[in-house]
Structure 1
Amino acid sequence: MSHRVPQGHSSNPVLDRLERLVAEVGDLQSKLILLVGNSSKTLLLRQLAQRLSVAPRNVGATLGHRLAATPVAERGFSTNELLRDITDTARGNAPLLLDNLEVLFEPSLKINPLDMIKRLAHSRRVVAVWPGELRDDRLVYARMGHPEYRDYTRDGVVVFEAT
């Protein structure tokens, strides 16, 4: 006996769970969901984008291109404004889907990448692929001793473990 799935809506329990969480997170003060884990987080974000009819934002490509055109001395100050310009084009009440955040960890920018993403999530729902990992209940990017190393608590963030 075969099980038929409605056309255009595949059966994917992980994606279903993420979609429900995106709908529920709108009631929280911080509306930030970080996708963490070892599985294909980018693929999950793309599937969510397709299901919600929202284009994901490639922060690395778009922001990287704009930062390259910004004088080095002004990049740290300009990053927040440039990121807002990139994300303000997202439509209406749709969640903002972000991928390839690695550019935000560039040490010369002298910014706090997680705080920057959290600020975006005060006024709208944001789902972002965390480029690091969840280690001992902490969000970690890079290895200790690496110039881009960061270690954050989960405070103000909803963590979705993509397994």
Structure 2
Amino acid sequence: MIEKLDRLVEDISGLNSKLVILIGPPRSGKSDFLGQLATRRQARVLNVGAALGRELLTVPSTRRHLHAADLLKELADRFSSRGLLLVDNIELLFDRTLQLSPLDLLKRHAHARRVIAVWPGDLRDDRLSYATTEHPEHQDYGIDGLVPFKIH
């Protein structure tokens, strides 16, 4: 399966939006799978929760929403290697106080480079979702502009 993902990383190079979303149930090994790809590609994984969280701590809480996207871009530039960015633990991007659209942010990064990201939610009927509908951080997206990659 890692070989299939590795080939897909090459195949998406010519696409306008080069975003692959790794999807699977909790504890299905998505992060481990991304780690294997990182090893194969000699790349680092950007742990958004840890790295962006650390950066945001230096910003007053009332101004974090103004800086979050720019800080993420700086981190993405630092972590990308040979036109590839591997992203995990993106739950922080769903924090309502940051006023971000996580999938749109990932798509923006995927115009400049190939982005492989672990999705912390579900894929049903060609819709990506995060959290349940009654949860305050619930998000729902169509899958246009990305390539879903299911891990079982």
TM-score, reference length from structure 2: 0.95
**Equivalent of 1:127, from 102, 116, 125?**
116
Percent of aligned positions that are identical:
46
> How far does residue 68 in structure 1 lie from its aligned partner after superposition?
1.8
> How far does residue 83 in structure 1 lie from its aligned partner after superposition?
0.3
Q: Structure 1 stretches (4+) deviating beyond 3 angstroms?
A: none
Q: Does 1:35 align with 2:28?
A: no
Asked whether the equivalents of residues 54 and 94 of structure 1 are also in contact (C-alpha less than 8 Å), the reply is: no
What's the CA shift string for 1:76-125, capped at 9, x where partnerless? Answer: 12111000111111354241000000000001111111111111110100
Q: Does 1:142 align with 2:131?
A: yes
Asked whether the equivalents of residues 22 and 119 of structure 2 are also in contact (C-alpha less than 8 Å), the reply is: yes
| Contiguous gaps of at least 5 residues in structure 1 | 1-13
Q: How well do the aligned residues superpose, as a CA RMSD in angstroms?
A: 1.0
Determine the C-alpha separation between the residues in 2 that align with 1:89 and 1:107.
25
* 1:8-157 equivalent positions in 2, closer than 5 A: 14-38=1-25, 39-157=28-146
How many correspondences in the alignment?
150
> How far does residue 65 in structure 1 lie from its aligned partner after superposition?
1.1
| Contiguous gaps of at least 5 residues in structure 2 | none
Determine the C-alpha separation between the residues in 1 that align with 2:115 and 2:81.
13
Residue type matched to 2:8 in 1? L
Structure 1 or 2: more helix by fraction? 2
Q: 1:8: which partner in 2? A: none
Residue type matched to 2:65 in 1? G
Higher gyration radius (CA): 1
Name the SS for the 1:122 alignment partner: helix
Name the SS for the 2:111 alignment partner: coil
TM-score, reference length from structure 1: 0.89
Determine the C-alpha separation between the residues in 1 that align with 2:82 and 2:55.
26
Residue type matched to 2:16 in 1? Q
> How far does residue 35 in structure 1 lie from its aligned partner after superposition?
0.3
Asked whether the equivalents of residues 37 and 161 of structure 1 are also in contact (C-alpha less than 8 Å), the reply is: yes
